[in-house]
Amino acid sequence: FECALAMDSFVQRHYYQLQGIPEELWPALYEKLVNDILDSGDKLEFGIEEDEDGDREYFVQVKAECSLLCHGEVFLVDHAWTTSVPSADADLRRSPQLLHRMCGLMQIEMSGDTDDDVRSVLSDMWRFAQHYQIGYGTHEEASVWYIM
């Protein structure tokens, strides 16, 4: 009974966000969100192809040994880094692992000097970053930046 109430509350709270997702997948989505299940890597492969001009194309494909049912599965994809413009510098300085990961992702050779490495990531991240807007009720919207 409690779980049904929680699911009803989830649907009420996120109804407009759920409109692009088939309704039969809502319970599976709820379950994955509540239990932090990030299982896309079990069935999907993510990749980057670069053409001769250096332009990158990102893709997702089903692993050879797997199959997916149409409207039968839903996957959550976690971002490598989610930040805001005011906090990006501090995020990188606070987490050497994040700085190292972003340098690797952006193909930036680390200098060993944290200030230089942070500057390099901050100047290059915009080639990789995407964003979305979130609202806070009656408050102003904020941009959230993420790198996959």
Per-residue pLDDT reduced to its tens digit, 118-148: 999 999 999 999 887 765 454 556 778 888 7
Q: Is 140 helix (H, G, I), strand (E, B) or coil?
A: strand
Per mean pLDDT, which range of 36-40, 45-49, 123-127 is the poorest? 45-49
For residue 60, the model assigns a pLDDT of 77
For residue 1, the model assigns a pLDDT of 43
- Statement: residue 18 has pLDDT above 80: yes
Cβ-count burial of 81 within 10 angstroms (0-12 exposed, 13-18 middle, 19+ buried)?
A: buried
Contacts of 92 (CB under 8 A, 6+ apart): 98, 99, 102, 117, 118, 121, 122
Q: Where are the alpha helices (DSSP H) in the chain?
A: 2-18, 26-34, 40-43, 88-94, 96-105, 114-124
Whether the model clears a pTM of 0.75, i.e. scores above it, the answer is: no
For residue 141, the model assigns a pLDDT of 64
